[in-house]
Structure 1
Amino acid sequence: MRPVADLPGGPGRSTRRPDRSDVAGPVWTIVLAGGGGTRFGGPKQFFDLGGEPLLAHPVAAARAASDGIVVVVPAATVDGWAPPPGVRLTTGGATRAESVRAGLAAVPVDAGIIVITDAAHPLATPALYRCVVDEIRAGADAAVPGLPLTEVVKEIRVAGGIQAAGGIQAAGEIKPTGGVGPSPRLVAGASLPRETHRLVQTPHAFRADLLRAAHAGAREAVEDSAMVAEAGGLVVVVPGEPANIHVTTPDELAMARLLLTHVRSEGESDEFGTGRVHAVR
């Protein structure tokens, strides 16, 4: 990887992007679908969405915008799902970062741009995939889709104790590290400024060399664009798609089922479905 100071957007550097319209190498997409669905109550990637497994939808969209696809699946089962011709399967790891690295190992070394998406965002259109890829060709090191915040986002803490003395006060507060449990007593902290924050979706696109370098140390991270940004890379945010919801719970899957018809009618309906129409180039 280039030194941080040499990267566009690094310390002391301009955020003006160099022209990279001739990025060498094909575009490959890694579809992360190796989770066990702990919060959902089962491997949601194999639950039905419009007559197909959830997983089939990001694969179909990616096929319309990629030269090759790797799908990262659980070691235990793929529940009878057969990938379209030309799509590679590999087994995921215990963490998201390990699954990304498993996918990277299956992507050819000559790939110039790598897109990472997940089965939990099944309604992203092929146009959104192309949009983040185009940003890499225009000079970005990474590109992610984001939506403006429309609600107030508060920092919260779980109260270890509550006492009423001149008002409600919190004692022994701790920050939640995951689920906060049933009916917790929450204390509100600071509000995030909506103008300077975005809700980030997938797919994410990357310069292949920088993404591989970011994972070379086998470190853990919640998502990959943060790793590239920490290394000094320029991460561009493009407009996201409101219907591209994150399916984490059964209620959100029900919502995705309602949105699917809208997405297909308003988006590029001919590019959706099982992917049988679009062969990997």
Structure 2
Amino acid sequence: MIVAVLAGGRGSRLGGAKALTPLGGRPLIARPVAAARAAGLDVVVVAKPDSALPGLPVLVEPADPTHPLLGLVTALEHHGPIVAVACDQPWVTAEWLRALADHDGPALAVADEPFPGRYEPSQLPTLRAALAEEASLRRTLARLAPAVLGAPPELAASVNTPEDLAAAEQQLAVRP
């Protein structure tokens, strides 16, 4: 099973390449990648053509549009089924990624949060239609109706702003 780490966002609110933004002295992307590897799962990063992610296998998504569904569709077109996680989700654990990989069929770790989640190639028509409409991720989830595994909500927390990054740094001081 492949874990697709989605890193196609521009990171404009963080001032640059989000995946490489330092958190605890390591690039933000390092934590979900490490969790996937600790779960015994293969990793591929889905990123824009100009992304520099040394040492990681990269699957290039089209430059446009910039929508999180594009990375998901790109990953499913090349590797399916997949577990998808965002590069800015530092609290994802190996245990929950493994639980998603072992689940039979589409599933989310946390209710109403698209990532981390397990997605199947059979969902591609719905995902492509949602991408064409520029539908929100939550509206798309309602169409897909995946199972929910019941992970704690903080598992899906992401780092989108300088304030989120500062809060994550504080959390790391308490729980590395």
TM-score by shorter chain over 0.5: yes
Instruction: Return 5+ residue gaps in structure 2 as ranges.
Output: none
Are 1:202 and 2:115 counterparts?
Answer: yes
Residues 211, 131 of structure 1: alpha-carbon distance in 2 compared, 3 angstrom cutoff:
same
Deviations 1:172-211 (A, max 9, x none): xxxxxxxxxxxxxxxxxxxxxxxxxx563621112x2323
Equivalent-residue separation in structure 1 for 2:91 and 2:126 (angstroms): 28
* Residue among 241, 244, 249 paired with 2:161: 249
TM-score normalised by length of structure 1:
0.52
8 A contact 1:28–1:115 mirrored in 2? yes
Once the two structures are TM-superposed, the CA of residue 29 in structure 1 deviates from its matched residue by 1.4
1:118 maps onto 2:86 in alignment: yes
- Helix, strand or coil at the partner of 2:169: helix
**3-state SS of the aligned residue for 2:54?**
coil
CA distance 1:250–1:114, change in 2 (3 Å) = same
Partner in structure 1 of residue 135 of structure 2: 221
Deviation by residue 1:55-77 (Cα, 9 ceiling, x = unmatched): 12111112233542221123333
Match of residue 50 from structure 2: 76
Sort the Cα spacing of 1:88 and 1:129 in 2 relative to 1 into closer, same or farther, 3 A: same
**Deviation for aligned residue 1:39:** 2.6
Match of 2:97 in 1: 129
Question: 67, 77, 81: which is aligned to 1:105?
Answer: 77
Matches within 5 A, 1:113-192: 113-134=81-102, 136-137=103-104, 141-146=105-110
Structure with the larger strand share:
1
The C-alpha deviation readout for 1:216-275, integer Å capped at 9, x for no partner, is 54533332x7546425x44324122536532111111122122235444xxxxxxxxxxx
Choose 1 or 2 for highest CA Rg.
1
Deviations 1:103-147 (A, max 9, x none): 22332xxx4x3111111212211112123333x23xxx422233x
Query: Could you tell which deviates more after superposition, 123-132 or 239-248?
Result: 239-248
Percent pairwise identity: 28
CA RMSD in angstroms, aligned pairs only: 2.8
Correspondence for 1:89: 59
Residue of structure 2 in register with 1:236 after alignment: 148
Query: Taking structure 1 as reference, are residues 37 and 216 closer, same or farther at Cα in structure 2, changes over 3 Å only?
Result: closer
Deviation, 1:33, is 0.7
How much does 1:89 deviate?
3.3
**Structure 2: distance between partners of 1:96 and 1:117:** 11
Alignment partner of 2:26 out of 26, 32, 52: 52
List aligned pairs for 1:252-271, cutoff 5 A: 252-264=164-176
Distance 1:245 1:263, change over 3 A: farther
Q: Is the 8 A contact 1:58 1:119 kept in 2?
A: yes
Whole-angstrom CA distance in 2 between matches of 1:237 and 1:99 = 23
Take 1:216 and 1:41, find their aligned partners in 2: how far apart are those partners? 29
- Unaligned ranges ≥5, structure 1: 1-26, 147-197, 265-281
CA gap 1:202/1:118 in 2 versus in 1, 3 angstroms: same
